[in-house]
Amino acid sequence: MINKKYILSIFLLFEAISSKAQLEYNFSKLAIGFGMSSIRGYTNLNKQDDHFAENINLTYFYSPYVPIAVELQSGTLSGGSIITDKDKRQYTNNYKALIFHGDLQLGQIVDYQYNGFLNFAKNFYVGSGFGFIQNNNKVQRYSLNDPTYPFPGKDNSIDFMVPLRVGYEIKFYNFFHEPFMMIDIGYVHNIAFGEGLDGYNDSSARFRNNAPDQYRQISVGVKFAFGNRTSYTKLE
């Protein structure tokens, strides 16, 4: 006759395995995606124009709530006007950028499993990283007010940049409760350490030039998960 202690031990073992499975879910370690952004420069010129940029990206998930990505971005920045700008300065920058960034979503650091608000908020994120932007400018280089004065700067340059990111990721799950598609809605503020975004590098004694060139993005993107799966110790 089977000892009741053995039956109880086996039952408790299966119960422990079942409980562990319920507190985990699988996710893919990689995703490929693309996105669009509304962008606007913040440079030494007062007038700035709105444009669109696009990107493709490859993401590695350290966990479902800590994505680390490499992104290739291209777009156009422009500003100034030879008509309305008092100094007749104007630029158009058809740029490309290579950016490495990571995000920390709230779900990584809070227990959201039994809290409706935190379960919704778990996908909010902040992030940062670094990158390089290749500037390709068309610049009104000579002053129409003073044709003898060429505005200093470079039409083509590469600047080091830092993105500051905040946003929300919407996850879609398959039949096995695994996230297979993600939509990101975010704001990114990029700081470029150089004077290449608008191509002007005038002395601050002549023009206002007291901050690094910058540009912002209001972005929407989609990612599709693929690759090997692993488990995470919280519910989706």
What tens digit of pLDDT does each residue of 158-176 get? Answer: 999 999 999 999 999 988 8
d(CA 54, CA 15): 50
Query: pLDDT digit string (tens) for 100-117?
Result: 999 999 999 988 888 888
Q: 38 to each of 56, 79, 92, 119, how far by Cα in Å?
A: 15, 15, 16, 29
Evaluate if residue 151 carries a pLDDT over 80. Answer: yes
Instruction: Read off the pTM.
Output: 0.84
CA angle centred on 228, ends 56 and 184, rounded to 5°? 35
124-139/66-80 β-pairing: unpaired
pLDDT, position 8? 52
Q: What is the DSSP string of 57-125?
A: EEEEEEETTEEEEEEEEEEEEEEE-TTTSTT--EEEEEEEEEEEEEEEEGGGTS--TT-HHHHHHTTEE
Among 95-104, 123-132, 175-184, 207-216, whose mean pLDDT is lowest?
207-216
**What SS3 state is found at 88?**
coil
pLDDT, position 228? 83
The overall average pLDDT reported for the chain is 87
190 CB-side CA count, 13 A: 28
What tokens does 19 get?
């409980």
124-139/156-173 β-pairing: antiparallel
What tokens does 231 get?
């488990």
Neighbours of 114 (CB within 10 A): 8
pLDDT, position 1? 47
Query: Which candidate, 161, 47, 149, places its Cα nearest to that of 96?
Result: 161
Average pLDDT value for residue range 58-71: 96
CB 235 within 8 A of CB 23: yes
Run of H or E including 44: none
pLDDT, position 14? 43
Residue with the bigger pLDDT between 70 and 6: it is 70
CATH number of 4-232: 2.40.160.20
Average pLDDT value for residue range 74-90: 90
Neighbours of 42 (CB within 10 A): 20
Evaluate if residue 63 carries a pLDDT over 60. Answer: yes
Question: What does residue 59 show for φ and ψ, rounded to 5 degrees?
Answer: -120, 135
Evaluate if residue 66 carries a pLDDT over 50. Answer: yes
Evaluate if residue 31 carries a pLDDT over 80. Answer: yes
